Amino acid sequence: MGSFAAAAVSILTSPAILLGNFTYLLMGLSVLMRDIAWLRTLAIAGGIAKIVYRTWYVYDPTSIVWETVFVVINVGQLILIWWENRPPNFTHEENHFVELVAPGLPSAVARALLASGQWLDVPAGTRLTIAGERVNALIFISQGKVRIESGGATVATCGPGDFLGEMTYESGKDATATAIADGPVRVLSFERLRLEKVQKSRPVLRMALQASFNRNLIDKLVRANNAPMARAS
């Protein structure tokens, strides 16, 4: 019992032993963190503590070098995490797109989605999709109206907040109707391969887009069902 007490006293009174145990405590806490930013922060603190320990108490140049590398890497990763999740600075139309398509999406993912698209001003009369031809881009209408024609007749109209080509984008089949700009139109166009690449790197984005497609499809069906009633009245 006396030897145990003596060992406990030596641990509590020895700065070297305290610091040595503290470094392992920080490392242990870091692996328990679910938040990657906290994991990196505690890993950095543990690494710095170990550098001090190996420099002043138990000199080990090899350990000092590798702990320094470890700290530098984690500092870089922490800066990257902050940069990707910094508060968004979207334009009005970018913010409108994100709020409609993927509300609640992390800033880094929303930024990646926007970066994968291209804003275009489309002149009146431009065919955005052509029946029977492959659709190579997913199109989001930000401003203006697009009429949907099938068999030479107008069957629907799409406007701000609507997607064009989402069904063929999902299935990979040819367009079933022709979409024509009914006046000047502002769109955000996503080239298929580029958008697929972003979705593979960020799985949460695929789920967000699928949910947005479903919501937009329901809106279109509701408008289509209400159109005959509006004409009749």
Mean pLDDT of 103-129: 90
**Band of residue 233 on the pLDDT scale cut at 50, 70, 90:** very low
Greater confidence (139 vs 135) lies with 139
pLDDT of 206 > 80? The answer is yes
Where is the domain boundary, 31, 66, 84? Answer: 84
Q: pLDDT tens across 2-31, in order?
A: 565 555 555 555 676 677 677 777 777 777
Query: Domain boundary residue among 84, 105, 126?
Result: 84
Q: What is the mean pLDDT of residues 106-132?
A: 91
116: domain CATH number? 2.60.120.10
What is the pLDDT confidence band of residue 72, given thresholds at 50, 70 and 90? very high
The domain total for the chain is: 2
100 shares a domain with 65: no
CA distance 127 to 134: 13
User: Does residue 191 share a domain with residue 169?
Assistant: yes
Range with the poorest average pLDDT among 15-19, 43-47, 100-104: 15-19
For 80-100, how does the pLDDT look when each residue is reduced to its tens digit (9 = 90+)?
Answer: 888 777 777 888 899 889 888
**What is the span of the domain harbouring residue 14?**
2-84
